[in-house]
DNA sequence: AGCTCAACCTGGCTGC
DNA sequence: TGCAGCCAGGTTGAGC
């Protein structure tokens, strides 16, 4: 039995981050912004250092893997990319290598730590309309826990969005055009849970398969959030590492190891430059 | 429109 | 031990 354990910013990790930082920041006023290295996925807007101080964090929401901090005059969007973490720390704590941006709140600071710099910090002013019009959010699929994706509505979305698509279901699901939040790890896990072969053409999914897949996505993400949520009490300091979700995967990173259901060895293939893990016996086309 | 793939950047692990 | 090579959570955007 292997335990897979690094921090993986898929939807559950972003949601746990949101739940961890929101109680400490909502209603508080930004006192200063430090951009230590703004060369992330896109340049961090330099004028945030001047425009954000004095503004209050009214709410922290999430859309897909984006965190949305609702400020007085707009939204601050934060994406963790592949390696980003957000922590609330005493402002007296020294900066660490790879800390990229900090929002100061008097005694506390919110720090974006991102070694690979694939994360993003962006600004959407209210004057440009509601956050929904932000270009990066517009192409996203529905939220997996929204009423729109509940029950058979979720299956309907997967079924309809996948018609006439020749791409493998693994890549279809990962792209987030139908439902958001399923990253590379939980994608393999969801397909295993649903008993669907990852290389099956999305357009060939049957309606019952879509039903099982929608259910699997909700289940896998919910379990991951629950696992992360259990560490929330330790979230606010450098000791309580929210990355230690202790998520046990059934197929991801288990190449050659016995399937937890049928004991046959787990296979690994590459799809769209990413690893996919699956059981050839339990998952059928 | 949909597809495939390179690219962004750094660190950790493997194997020689 | 040192170092080259390979691999890694996400997403965009170019080229077909």
* Domain CATH code at residue A205: 1.10.8.50
Same domain, A99 and A130: yes
The sign of the torsion formed by the CA atoms of A91, A93, A95, A100 equals: negative
**E strands, chain A, where?**
32-35, 59-63, 66-70, 74-79, 85-90, 99-105, 108-113, 120-125, 267-271, 274-278
Helices (H), chain A: 11-25, 48-51, 135-138, 151-162, 169-175, 184-194, 207-229
Domain contains A284: no
Domain contains A45: yes
**Coil, strand or helix at A74:** strand
Same domain, A174 and A78: no
Q: What is the pTM of this model?
A: 0.93
Q: What is the pLDDT along chain A (285 residues), one digit of tens a residue?
A: 223 334 678 899 899 899 989 999 999 999 999 999 999 999 999 999 999 999 999 999 999 999 999 999 999 999 999 989 998 999 999 999 999 999 999 999 999 999 999 999 999 999 999 999 999 999 999 999 999 999 999 999 999 999 999 999 999 999 999 999 999 999 999 999 999 999 999 999 999 999 999 999 999 999 988 887 665 554 554 444 554 555 689 999 999 999 999 999 999 999 999 999 999 999 999
Same domain, A113 and A172: no
Same domain, A10 and A123: yes
Minimum-distance nucleotide, CA of A98 to C1': B10
Same domain, A248 and A213: yes
* CA→C1' distance for A27 and C7 (Å): 42
Which nucleotides on strand B sit less than 7 A from a protein beta carbon?
2-11
| Overall domain count for chain A | 2
Please report, for the domain that includes residue A49, its CATH number. Answer: 3.20.190.10
Domain contains A285: no
Same domain, A132 and A157: no
Neighbours of A225 (CB within 10 A): 19
Last residue of a domain, one of A96, A111, A138: A138
pLDDT value at position A239? 41
Domain span at A259: 147-278
Which nucleotides on strand C sit less than 7 A from a protein beta carbon?
7-12
Last residue of a domain, one of A102, A121, A138: A138
Same domain, A16 and A128: yes
Same domain, A159 and A115: no
Same domain, A184 and A266: yes
Does at least one atom of strand C sit less than 7 Å from the CB of A6? yes
The residues of A annotated with a catalytic role in the active site are 9-10, 65, 274
Same domain, A19 and A128: yes
Same domain, A151 and A110: no
Last residue of a domain, one of A84, A115, A138: A138
């Amino acid at each position: 039995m292997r335990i897979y354990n690094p921090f993986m910013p898929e939807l559950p990790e972003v949601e746990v981050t949101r739940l961890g930082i929101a109680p400490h920041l909502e209603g508080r006023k930004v006192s200063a912004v430090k951009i230590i290295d703004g060369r992330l996925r896109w340049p961090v807007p330099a004028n945030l250092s001047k425009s954000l101080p004095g503004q209050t964090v009214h709410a922290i929401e999430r859309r897909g893997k984006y965190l949305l901090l609702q400020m007085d005059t707009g939204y601050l969007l934060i994406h963790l990319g592949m390696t980003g973490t957000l922590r609330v720390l005493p402002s007296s704590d020294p900066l660490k290598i790879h800390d990229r941006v900090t929002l100061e709140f008097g005694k506390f600071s919110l720090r974006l730590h991102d070694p690979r710099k694939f994360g993003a910090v962006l600004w959407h002013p209210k004057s440009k309309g509601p956050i929904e019009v932000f270009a990066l959010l517009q192409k996203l699929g529905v939220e997996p826990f929204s009423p729109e994706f509940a029950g058979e509505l979720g299956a309907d979305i997967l079924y309809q969005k996948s018609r006439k698509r020749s791409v493998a279901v693994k890549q279809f699901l990962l792209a987030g055009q139908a439902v958001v939040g399923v990253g590379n790890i939980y994608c393999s896990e969801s397909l295993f849970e649903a008993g669907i072969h990852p290389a099956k053409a999305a357009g060939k999914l049957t309606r019952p398969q879509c039903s099982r897949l929608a259910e699997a996505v909700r289940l896998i993400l919910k379990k991951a959030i629950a696992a992360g949520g259990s560490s929330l009490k330790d979230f606010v300091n450098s000791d309580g590492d929210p990355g230690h979700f202790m998520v046990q995967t059934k197929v991801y990173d288990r190449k050659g190891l016995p399937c937890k259901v049928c004991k046959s060895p787990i296979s690994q293939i590459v799809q769209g430059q990413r690893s996919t893990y699956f059981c050839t016996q339990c998952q059928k086309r």
